[in-house]
A and B are shown apart, each in its own frame.
Chain A
């Protein structure tokens, strides 16, 4: 019960606010005017749980009044209708004119009449066609700069061809074209390109397999040479062998003057009793397994020489006295020139051949020496080989009997080796080594007499060589176990080295005027055969600086220095397995010129080499006189 005071009290108004737990906390709208989102906290919290439209109308409302009117009108109409229909039953005469229904005729103002007609409706049919899609192929390609280039080049070629066709008669050009086409249809395995590719491929395969050896060849240097003064070693690198040269002996080795990796090796036999056919193999350092070129000859090969200007031309001397000239590039394996009995071939083995640099006659020519005592000059004419006798090696009587008796002995001396002087002012001079042990100096111009005879060797002289630097010095190797150094102005040797074995060959080093290598051929037991001796006279005048046994149980027959690489090639008499060994020279063996601070800077290497030699000669002559 509220008391009167409570009624007076101001009661704060109590308002009930609805709270819809499901309503959002705020509505946020983007205002384009202010370009930001505006948050509106006022959210309608009213929830309608149930709504239904009602049908109740208020009696006094205008809607209700309208409804009542409509309803009454309808009722009235209905009544009238019933009365009109009920005329049959109740035939009461109309009491009132007013009760007769009045027909209202329809009248319009415009005299509108409606007429309509219906035309025939066409029947709609749908017809459609689909065609087969044209066959599509995908064409794609790349466009790169080189393809464009190729296209241009091809067009230029075609234009050229058309141009040349215009010049010639049309038919012949067409024939050429058709022939070319035929060639390309054949098996590409055998095309020219394949030959080249496969050759290089073989080289690559070999190089891979022998990678270490190639590295040694190029880069390895014997370090111990720094500690060992005056001594050097030879590192074995490769062994060239060939099936075709089994049981043959190496009879000569020559490096190609132009291609420094190519060397020609001739195989034959030194044994008089066992003579067979001969083989020439040209090996390249780039392919150490198989020779580049192989030629078979009828008799054992005794000597070879490459032409200095035409690096593919090879002159060969055989055991039966024939000389041959090969062109290694030729397809066929036949020599391009061959000497026969009719062309005055030698009757004994041709121990050495040498090309003549001087081509004043126009034709290529070379010299050959043989143990039948003749030195011949062969000219390569158009289709034959012509020989001209340079001289006959007359037998000299022993010194002391006098010069008058020189023709008393019948027959000729057997020549075993010769060497032409390389210097231009002495180019007419050449040396000949004979079986008797004498060395003769001869001239190309003088065919009758020897200019000088050098005595010293007691047995056959196998090799004579001029020094490549010093024009007066030459060296000779003989079967009497000695290597002798001569000055061509003196009749007697300057220096002599005893190797205690028969010497097969001696060669000057191309890089130093005082270095040479000699090889021993005969072996009594096994310890002294197969040894390569290297001498450097500026380092050690009396003894070798390197003596290395290179092969077991074989005799070495020839040695050759390579002009550009620090290697030497040594051939032996064991065919098939050993054959040719390549050895690398250690640094001590390769001293060419030693330049110190004192040496004159203006001197060229050549001068230095000459100086070395001169120095050596002085020392030698000093010791001799003292």
Chain B
């Protein structure tokens, strides 16, 4: 249990990481380091996207399943780890950390 906490902390304090959101299977955010408005936005939007992505993967081959989803945009990268019980979302700005 504490390993998870430790790892979460390390990711949180990593330079370039803007925030972490953990959403449960109903779409309700359980933990977040962002403000509440952003948290709600991210949780709603990303849940839907992850569900759609999973649907795509499984539709192509039902024995396959989605493991990770990464969306790279100009400003940052959103990394999503979907699971049956939760969705883990990490937002990072890859350029903020170069040179360290």
Q: Give A residues with C-beta under 8 Å from B.
A: 142, 144-146, 148-150, 184, 188-191, 193-195, 197-202, 204-206, 208-212, 289-290
Closest chain-B Cβ to A281's Cβ sits at a distance in Å of: 15
Least CB distance, B75 to chain A, in whole angstroms: 13
Q: CB distance B58 to A146 under 8 Å?
A: yes
Contact indicator B97/A198 (Cβ below 8 Å): no
CB closest residue in chain A, given B94:
A208
- Does B50 sit within 8 A of A, measured CB to CB? no
Q: Are A188 and B24 in contact (CB under 8 A)?
A: yes
Interchain CB contact under 8 A, B83 and A209: no
Do A211 and B94 have beta carbons less than 8 Å apart?
A: yes
Q: A188-B86, A189-B4, A211-B94 are in contact. Are A204 and B79 (CB under 8 A)?
A: yes
State whether A209 touches B16 (Cβ < 8 A).
yes
Interface string of B1-32 (1 = CB under 8 A from A): 10110011011001111000010110000110
Looking at chain A's contact residues, the main secondary structure is helix
A184, A199, A201: residue with the most chain B Cβ atoms closer than 10 Å: A201
Tell me how many residue pairs across A and B have CB atoms closer than 8 Å: 94
B55 contacts partner chain A, Cβ-Cβ < 8 Å: yes
Q: Are A208 and B77 in contact (CB under 8 A)?
A: yes
Output the least CB separation between A565 and chain B (Å): 22
- In the complex the two chains form, is A144's CB within 8 Å of B79's CB? no
Closest A residue by C-beta to B68: A200
Closest beta carbon of chain B to A135's beta carbon, Å:
24
Give the CA-CA distance A205 to B76 in the complex, in Å: 12
Q: Is B73 part of the contact surface with A, judged by Cβ < 8 Å?
A: no
Whether A209 touches B4, Cβ cut-off 8 Å, given contacts A149-B63, A188-B85, A191-B85, is no
CB distance from A187 to the nearest CB of B (A): 8
Decide: A289 and B10 in contact? CB cutoff 8 A: yes
Say yes or no: B4 contacts A201, CB within 8 Å: no
Q: Is B39 at the interface (CB under 8 A from chain A)?
A: no
A290 to B14, CA, bound (A): 11
A189 interface neighbour in B31, B68, B100, Cβ under 8 Å:
B31
Q: Complex: how many Å from CA A2 to CA B75? A: 110
The smallest C-beta distance from A294 to any residue of chain B, in angstroms, reads: 11
Nearest to B82 among chain A residues (CB) is A197
Give the docked Cα–Cα distance between A199 and B67 (Å).
13
Q: Give complex CA distance A175, B10 in Å.
A: 39
Give the CA-CA distance A267 to B14 in the complex, in Å: 25
How many Å from the CB of A235 to the closest CB on chain B? 16
| CB<8 Å pairs between A and B, sample of 15 | A144-B55, A146-B62, A149-B58, A184-B85, A188-B24, A188-B25, A188-B30, A189-B30, A190-B4, A195-B3, A204-B79, A204-B90, A205-B92, A208-B94, A208-B97
Q: Assess whether A195 is in contact with B94, with CB atoms less than 8 Å apart.
A: no
Which of A142, A197, A206, A210 is B81 in contact with, Cβ under 8 Å?
A197
Select from chain B the residue with minimum beta-carbon distance to A211: B94
Residue of B nearest to A212 (CB): B98
| Complex Cα gap A148–B83 (Å) | 19
Q: Are B4 and A194 in contact (CB under 8 A)?
A: yes
Q: A189-B86, A195-B4, A201-B88 are in contact. List 17 more A-B contacts (CB 8 A).
A: A142-B55, A145-B59, A146-B59, A146-B62, A189-B4, A189-B30, A194-B88, A197-B83, A198-B8, A198-B11, A200-B68, A201-B90, A205-B14, A205-B16, A205-B92, A208-B77, A209-B94
Q: How many residues belonging to B are interface residues under a CB distance threshold of 8 Å?
A: 37
Which residues of B are found within 8 Å of A145, using beta-carbon distances? Answer: 58-59, 62
Report yes or no: A205 in contact with B24, Cβ–Cβ below 8 A.
no
Most chain B CB inside 10 Å of its own CB: which residue of A191, A199, A209: A209
How far apart sit A381 and B3, CA to CA, in the bound complex (Å)?
A: 31
Q: Let me know if A202 and B59 touch, CB within 8 A.
A: no
Instruction: Report the bound CA distance from A209 to B92 in whole Å.
Output: 9
- Chain B nearest Cβ from A143, distance in angstroms: 11
- A205 and B81 form a contact (CB under 8 A): no
A146 to B51, CA, bound (A): 13
When the two chains form the complex, which single residue of A209, A212, A290 contacts B10, counting CB atoms closer than 8 Å? A290
Least Cβ–Cβ distance between A101 and chain B, in angstroms: 106
**Choice from A146, A193, A199, A212 contacting B7 with Cβ under 8 Å:** A199
Alpha-carbon distance between A89 and B16 when the two chains are bound, in angstroms = 133
Report the minimal beta-carbon distance from A290 to chain B, rounded to whole angstroms. Answer: 6
Q: Which of A142, A190, A193, A199 contacts B83 (CB 8 A)?
A: A193
Determine if B14 and A193 form an interchain contact, defined as CB atoms under 8 angstroms apart.
Answer: no
Q: Which residue of chain B has its CB nearest to the CB of A191?
A: B85
Whether the Cβ atoms of B31 and A202 lie closer than 8 Å is no
Contact B55 A209 (CB under 8 A): no
A194: nearest chain-B partner, CB-CB:
B4
Q: Could you tell me the distance in whole angstroms from the C-beta of A543 to the nearest C-beta in chain B?
A: 35
In the assembled complex, which residues on chain A have CB atoms less than 8 Å from the CB atom of B59?
Answer: 144-146
Closest to B80 in A: A201
Contact B1 A190 (CB under 8 A): yes
- B86 nearest CB neighbor, chain A only: A188
Q: Which residues of A contact B90 (CB under 8 A)?
A: 201, 204-205
Residues of B within 8 A of A206 (CB): 14
Q: Which of A142, A194, A209 contacts B86 (CB 8 A)?
A: A194
Name the distance in Å between B39's Cβ and chain A's nearest Cβ: 15
Residues of chain A with a CB closer than 8 A to B68's CB: 200, 204
Which residue from A144, A199, A202 sits with its C-beta under 8 Å from B58? Answer: A144
B17 CB contact (under 8 Å) in A142, A205, A211, A212: A205
**Contact across chains for B62 and A209 when beta carbons are under 8 A apart:** no
B10 contact set on A, CB distance < 8 A:
202, 289-290
Question: Which residue of chain B lies nearest to A209 when distances are taken between CB atoms in the complex?
Answer: B97
Q: How far is the CA of A189 from the CA of B62 in the complex (A)?
A: 27
Q: Evaluate whether A201 and B94 lie within 8 angstroms (CB atoms) in the complex, with A146-B62, A194-B86, A194-B88 already known.
A: no
